A and B are shown apart, each in its own frame.
Chain A
């Protein structure tokens, strides 16, 4: 039993956890035909249920999972995994139909039915069920109320509301101006830009994966892996001082983690060239600025002639550059994560003088 708990604690380490989440998405995309069966989906739900039941015997696990505001996130884990699997399973069904020349299921359900009674009764049942669930939930679980607000007593950890914990988790890798302002802004802009960047006329109004491979994979990566899985990480696996704690680990406020993060400028000037840091910030940060210019400025143009040539020609210059910029900004997070884990890299560009750190 201890071995099992230690294993879960080990797997929950942010580095392994994130790689596992990406891996799960990869397996879902790659092995989708096999995973589409009901046995897999409902088996996954059963496994999760067993895991949470098993976990609830552990004191530390119970403490974090039954915190009233964390209960919805337990629900979120279930519904997100279920619907991700379900959407993919429905897509596979349609893909198999399309392969043999049949139209998607939705095409066969194209004929119209009366809204009264077909839709209004469905709505009524949904409304009643939703009310019942909400009322029962409200009777059995009290809303949290802690001590009165006190500006002199900072709780440790101080957490944002749960839906922003993905952003708070980004603070590990970025400064607030990026993690709290620019990147959330770009998420909104990016979501709004989707219909204008996505030129693929197929897959409009029915589930499919084969006809929209890139779009769906990128969206699932952004939504399921970056947004939701980081919320789960921030909610359940981050304790005092925003340190990592496994689900079966005691929240020890004195837990110490060695942090020796190094800026790119130090790597370049001190470790590579063996000299002191230049005093002028522009000279000092020149390597990092160059890296960012290459990443955001040169890379899209290079890709347009290489890997992404087909996209460039299909989308046109404006759509391509906006789309690739948004994509690269999204990928900045995993890039920063990897460089942190592999090289302890703190900032690529670190102009403290102007609060400009990347």
Chain B
């Protein structure tokens, strides 16, 4: 007669059992298609199956994860863009871009909104993003990363640099205080002097039929920028729409191209 062998399973801690139960539910398995990324197989799968992580490659040059090489400035620029999108969205709840309300809405935001640091985060985040974008460009230059095959992506980056500055510039007007309108007045006055297209620019006088001027204060480059001959209601609305919709859309599309091309051009740069 065979002796009955009784094995005693070591009892698992409650937390482990709860975890095992949770990860075995249909809900969990419908969201996560594989186990925790602790095995090589799952480290591949996590990058392939997650839409947010799939911007990354699966494996990357060792220098590419080091601050020494990247300064992290490209990543921080992107993160600050996300912060600005989020805080900007919240600010849009409180702000109306009209001469009657613009300034008083900002005062209200400061005086009446509890825990109101959204405007601060938006403003300082914007200043910081200008700086991180410059430093990212600086790093890319110093490591020669614009060289073939990455020439085109450098160009996409230069356009995004311009868009970053334009985003910051259009946002500068919105508080509608003295700081805002005079900074934009100084900046946009330059457009008056655009060659041929500004009414005080060289060559504009040549564009005329006899005594009829084609380029004057009411239709030149500055007028197109401001929607008027001075920084007024038209400019406020134009800058608001560009700041909240036009420019963010443009830069988001270019970001997609930029990140895509980083991957397609061989990942982060390194010695050949």
Please state if A109 and B43 are interface contacts (CB–CB under 8 Å).
no
**With A130-B79, A216-B142 already in contact, 14 other A-B pairs whose C-beta atoms are closer than 8 Å:** A76-B131, A79-B131, A112-B62, A113-B60, A115-B57, A119-B65, A120-B53, A137-B124, A180-B193, A191-B137, A194-B154, A195-B154, A195-B155, A205-B144
Stretch at the interface among B6-14, B15-23, B178-186, B239-247: B178-186
Please state if B61 and A112 are interface contacts (CB–CB under 8 Å).
yes
Partner of B169, one of A117, A164, A188, A204: A164
List B109-146 residues whose CB lies under 8 Å from chain A. Answer: 110, 117, 119-125, 127-128, 130-131, 134-135, 137-139, 141-146
> Range of interface residues on chain B?
35 or more
A7 to B112, CA, bound (A): 47
Closest-CB distance, B62 to chain A (whole angstroms): 4
A151 to B121, CA, bound (A): 28
Most buried by B among A143, A182, A194, A202: A143
Please state if A159 and B186 are interface contacts (CB–CB under 8 Å).
yes
Residues of A with C-beta under 8 A to B69 = 106, 109
Interface size for A (C-beta < 8 A) is 93
The list of the 9 closest CB pairs from A to B, nearest first, reads: A180-B190, A138-B120, A195-B151, A176-B193, A112-B59, A109-B62, A177-B193, A72-B127, A109-B63
Could you write out 17 A-B pairs with CB less than 8 Å apart? A106-B69, A109-B63, A109-B66, A110-B270, A112-B62, A113-B60, A116-B37, A123-B75, A139-B117, A147-B178, A148-B176, A154-B182, A168-B186, A180-B193, A205-B269, A355-B200, A355-B201
Please state if B131 and A158 are interface contacts (CB–CB under 8 Å).
no
Most buried by B among A103, A146, A148, A200: A148
Closest-CB distance, A99 to chain B (whole angstroms): 16
Number of inter-chain CB pairs below 8 Å: 268
A113 to B123, CA, bound (A): 37
Partner of A191, one of B128, B147, B158, B175: B158
B residues apposed to A, CB below 8 Å = 37, 40, 43, 46-47, 53, 56-69, 71-72, 75-76, 79-80, 83, 103, 106-107, 110, 117, 119-125, 127-128, 130-131, 134-135, 137-139, 141-148, 150-151, 154-155, 158, 161-162, 165, 168-169, 172, 175-183, 185-187, 189-195, 198, 200-206, 230-232, 269-272
Please state if B119 and A143 are interface contacts (CB–CB under 8 Å).
yes
With A106-B270, A158-B185 as contacts: A150 and B37 at CB distance below 8 Å: no
A126 to B137, CA, bound (A): 19
